[in-house]
Amino acid sequence: MTATHSSRMIILGSGPAGLTAAIYAARAGLAPIVVQGIQPGGQLTITTDVENYPGFADVIQGPWLMEQMQKQAEHVGARMEWDHISSVDLSQRPFRLTGDSGNVYLGDTLVIATGAQARWLDLPTEERLKGKGVSACATCDGFFYRGKKVIVIGGGNTAVEEALYMTNHSHDVTLIHRRDSLRAEKILQERLFAHPNIKVLWNREIARFLGEGTPEVLVAAELRDTTSGAIERIDIEGAFVAIGHVPATELFKGHLELDSDGYVKVQTGTTHTSVPGVFACGDVMDKTYRQAVTAAGTGCMAALDAERFLAEMDFESVETHLLQEA
């Protein structure tokens, strides 16, 4: 049996952006429905220590933080639906979304908070050592590698920025790139090459990560020379995979404006997308900061923008009604 759910606001995604939007919208009396997707709680549920989310003096766990956010959203009146949206119709209001379950969601407004997934190398050893020395976010995890020898993998802006960022914590940072030149902006490259604590290993890719101990932690990586195929070992304690992100926007192609990297375009300083009544927040519209606190911040903005949009719509329809009666 499939069902149709209607709300003044449908929120797609249950990471920090979606759940913060839900808290604000519920407290504004909009009774939002959050469609959680296949990763309820979002990306923070796959990490352990979180030390940079304000409000907690001690280190907290990512899954715990997201559980608290969900409970808070439910406590103030948001409704959670465990479904993954597979098609959307944004051509008229209410917007119509259909889930894998066959259920239909109708919303006077839509908040898109579907996030962006980090690209990984897809090595079996990488999967095993994620969170145990292998990370995809230096800003998030760099602090845990103070004074340790680390590598950063990639050749674009993100990789160079992450390598530069890691010099705040480590005196021994090596950038590993599979080609003999970087794609990053010239200015970033200049900063990288001028930094005394960063070296670059060209034409190398990761063959595998090596772990030791119980519990197992990263101790080295095997590098393959992309020209000769030769293998060498580098002893390290941290590895940051910085080969880009993929915003979860496949669903919206052709329905609203995306930028050349696939992120949802919003009007500067707001969460308004190219379709009136559709708002975007969190990593799906932000390729610069990509942090839980910035996702939560834009989630708040999206709920407030949507609330104002609805208030204007309601005012216009009352006015039209009164004019028709006069």
Binding of residue 25 to ligand FAD (CB under 6 A): no
CA distances from 113 to 12, 21, 119, 263, 324 (A): 5, 9, 19, 11, 39
- 261: annotated active-site residue: no
Residue 129 touching ligand FAD (CB under 6 A): no
DSSP string, 53-90: STT-SS-EEHHHHHHHHHHHHHHTT-EEE---EEEEE-
Nearest to 154 by CA among 42, 70, 248, 244: 244
In sequence order, the β-bridge partners of residue 279 are 111, 272
Residue 35 contacts ligand FAD per CB under 6 A? yes
Q: Phi/psi of residue 212, each to 5°?
A: -145, 160
Which of residues 18, 32, 142, 247 is near ligand FAD by CB under 6 A? 18
One of 8, 10, 15, 107 touching ligand FAD (CB under 6 A): 15
CB-nearer residue toward ligand FAD: 35 or 176? 35
Active site residue 281: no
Residue 297 as a binder of ligand FAD (CB under 6 A): the answer is no
52 lies in the site for ligand FAD, by CB under 6 A:
yes
Considering only 70, 114, 167, 174, the residue that binds ligand FAD (CB under 6 A) is 114
In three-state secondary structure terms, 44 is: helix
Q: What is the largest CA-CA distance in the chain?
A: 84
DSSP class of 322: H
Residue 43 binds to ligand FAD (criterion: CB under 6 A): yes
Binder of ligand FAD out of 76, 118, 217, 246 (CB under 6 A): 118
Candidate residues 73, 140, 164, 241; the one interacting with ligand FAD per rule CB under 6 A: 140
Contact string (CB under 6 A) for ligand FAD, positions 60-99, x = contact = ------------------------xx--------------
CA distances from residue 186 to 49, 163, 192, 194 in whole angstroms, order as listed: 34, 15, 10, 12
36: contact with ligand FAD by CB under 6 A: yes
Say if residues 50 and 292 touch (Cβ distance below 8 Å). yes
Site string for ligand FAD, 220-259 (x = CB under 6 A): ----------------------------x--x--------
The answer to whether the CB of 22 falls within 8 A of the CB of 67 is no
Q: Is 293 in the site for ligand FAD (CB under 6 A)?
A: yes
Collapse the DSSP code of 317 into the 3-class scheme (helix H, G, I; strand E, B; otherwise coil) and give the result.
Answer: helix
Q: Which of 130, 129, 15 is nearest to 63 (CA)?
A: 15
Q: What are φ and ψ of residue 127, in 5° steps?
A: -55, -45
Contact footprint for ligand FAD (CB under 6 A): 12-18, 35-40, 42-44, 46-47, 50, 52-53, 84-85, 113-115, 118, 136-137, 140, 248, 251, 282-284, 290-293, 295
Catalytic residue positions, numbered:
137, 140-141
